[in-house]
Structures are given as structure tokens and as C-alpha cells.
């Protein structure tokens, strides 16, 4: 390369850098001007995470199983289901593992079945209504049956005199 070609290359490279810098600055100003009082903070944080390269939607790559290739999400889901059902069925387990599995299943025939005999009131399953009420009470302690709320317990503990530290005799 001649000296003149090197200088021309450096001049063009500097011009490209300036153009990129100017474009980035304009894009940043455009983005910042879209934020206002009504902008949801979730949207702002999502944009910040995107700019950092964190999170975002991850795509499962193309899956290959022998001569089958799964490209769409449905094909990938079917391939994974087929593979996992084979694993759960013991298709790829060794003879020793299959023997131990049969022994455990014979010893514990009730494994995987619901318990129908309730020894205690605490073993009874929740109804949907009871579960909904429990979730609401956990979210809003003022709905508690006991009448005690986090606020009332805190106030009570703050008003009670503290025990003096023990003295050494």
C-alpha cells in the first residue's frame, strides 16, 4: 500500500466512526425522550436489560435426533416429549437399574397414589375456596381471623418495656 492509500483508508475509517457515534447519540436521545411520568418502570427496566444483553427471549436451537430434525416449536416439543417419555419408561436404563426400580415399586405399591385415609385433620386437602382465602389472608393480614396484624404486633412490641440486661454478680 502506498502512503496515500493508507491516509485515505484512515480518513474514511474516521468518517465511519463519527457517523456511527452520531447515530448512536441520536438514537439514545430519541429513546430518552420517550420516557416520561407515565412510563411504566417495567418497560424501562426491560429496555435496560436488553441493552445489557441480559434476559430476553431465548430460542431453543434446532434439535436433531437421528435422522429427525425439529425446527418449529411444536416439533421440538414433540421430540422432547418422546425422549422424556422414553427416559421415564426406562428405555435407556441398565438391567441393574430396572431390577432396582421393580423392587422399589413392589415394596411401595402405594407410591404415586393419593392417600385416601386421613389420620389427621391436617392431612385433609384444601378446597379451592380455602386456598383462595389463605392466599388473600397472607396478602392482606388485616383479614386474619385472630385479629392480630403485623402492624398491631409491631406496635405492641414497641410499647412494651424491654427487659434490662442481666447483671453479673
Tell me: the pLDDT tens digits for 30-39?
888 888 888 8
Cell 424501562: give the residue. 44
Give, for 163, the enclosing helix (H) or strand (E): none
Q: What is the mean pLDDT of residues 139-145?
A: 60
Q: What is the mean pLDDT of residues 143-162?
A: 58
More confident residue, 164 or 71: 71
Q: How confident is the model at residue 3 (pLDDT cuts 50, 70, 90)?
A: very high
Cell of 134: 389463605
SS3 string, 92-150, reads: CCCHHHHHHHHHHHHHCCCCCCCCCCCCCHHHCCCCHHHHHHHHHHHHCHHHCCCCCCH
Tell me, yes or no, whether 164 lies in a domain.
Answer: no
The residue segments making up the domain with residue 12 are: 3-52
Q: What's residue 105's pLDDT?
A: 82
Q: What is the mean pLDDT of residues 120-128?
A: 72
As for how many domains the chain has, the answer is 3
Residue 36 DSSP code: -
Q: How confident is the model at residue 6 (pLDDT cuts 50, 70, 90)?
A: very high
Say which range, 36-45, 114-123, 125-134, 157-166, has the weakest mean pLDDT. 157-166
pLDDT above 90 as % of the chain: 14
Tell me, yes or no, whether 118 lies in a domain.
Answer: no
List phi, psi (to 5°) of 156.
-65, -45
What span, in angstroms and rounded, lies between the C-alpha atoms of 24 and 63? 37
Say which range, 37-46, 83-92, 128-137, 143-152, has the weakest mean pLDDT. 143-152
Tell me, yes or no, whether 34 lies in a domain.
Answer: yes
Tell me, yes or no, whether 78 lies in a domain.
Answer: yes
Same domain, 47 and 8: yes
Beta carbons of 33 and 25 less than 8 angstroms apart: no
Tell me, yes or no, whether 27 lies in a domain.
Answer: yes
Tell me, yes or no, whether 130 lies in a domain.
Answer: yes
Tell me: the pLDDT tens digits for 61-76?
788 888 888 888 888 8
Cell 427416559: give the residue. 87
Same domain, 42 and 70: no
| Most confident of the following: 6-20, 44-58, 67-81, 142-156 | 6-20
Amino acid at each position: 500500500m502506498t502512503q496515500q492509500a493508507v491516509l485515505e483508508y484512515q480518513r474514511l475509517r474516521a468518517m465511519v466512526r463519527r457517523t456511527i457515534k452520531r447515530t448512536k447519540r441520536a438514537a439514545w436521545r430519541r429513546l430518552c425522550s420517550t420516557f416520561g411520568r407515565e412510563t411504566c418502570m417495567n418497560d424501562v427496566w426491560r429496555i435496560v436489560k436488553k441493552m445489557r444483553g441480559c434476559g430476553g427471549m431465548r430460542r431453543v436451537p434446532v434439535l436433531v435426533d437421528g435422522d429427525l430434525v425439529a425446527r418449529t416449536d411444536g416439533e421440538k416439543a414433540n421430540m422432547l416429549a418422546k425422549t422424556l417419555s422414553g427416559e421415564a419408561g426406562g428405555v435407556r436404563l441398565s438391567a441393574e437399574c430396572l431390577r432396582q426400580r421393580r423392587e422399589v415399586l413392589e415394596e411401595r405399591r402405594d407410591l404415586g397414589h393419593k392417600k385416601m385415609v386421613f389420620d389427621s385433620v391436617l392431612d385433609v386437602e384444601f378446597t379451592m375456596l380455602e386456598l383462595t382465602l389463605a392466599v388473600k389472608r397472607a396478602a392482606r393480614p388485616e383479614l386474619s381471623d385472630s385479629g392480630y396484624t403485623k402492624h398491631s404486633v409491631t406496635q405492641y412490641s414497641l410499647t412494651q418495656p424491654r427487659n434490662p440486661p442481666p447483671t453479673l454478680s
